Amino acid sequence: MNFLLHFIFIASFLLIYIIAIIVLKPFRIHHKRPVSTVFIKVSYLIYLACFMLLAYLVLFFSPAIEPEEDTAEERILNLFTLFSVLAFFIPNIGIMVRRRIGSWRITYNYLFTALNFIIAAGLIWFISDMPWQFR
């Protein structure tokens, strides 16, 4: 039963990722902004892969850490929660709003490319830093 649940979540995450690739068309060349458009789309897909990996790990292998007092671990978990919420909203809003940006679109694309890579690096750091309980 547990294997089936893991399989369903992995299959659904892969389906979401494939749909994101189909919708974004990351390697379709844009006439006015070819480089910055490819960068923002590829960086978003990298971010999305990191976020889905973190979501999978939190769903199935999250550590059972509950700090008793206001300790450093509690502050780290609060920081992790805040970062996760921001990491969910900022890149998704950035990729959806990009077509409404007019004159400074190239700068916007590079800014959100950097932001996506920073958030992806933060997610990878959290993934590697957490004490996951693999069963």
User: What does the block give as tokens for 42?
Assistant: 């590829």
What 3 state SS string does the chain have? CHHHHHHHHHHHHHHHHHHHHHHHCCCCCCCCCHHHHHHHHHHHHHHHHHHHHHHHHHHHHCCCCCCCCCCHHHHHHHHHHHHHHHHHHHHHHHHHHHHHCCCCHHHHHHHHHHHHHHHHHHHHHHHHHCCCCCC
pLDDT per residue, tens digit, the chain (135 aa), is 688 999 999 999 999 999 999 999 988 888 888 899 999 999 999 999 999 999 999 888 876 656 566 677 677 778 888 998 999 999 999 999 988 888 898 999 999 999 999 999 999 998 998 888 876
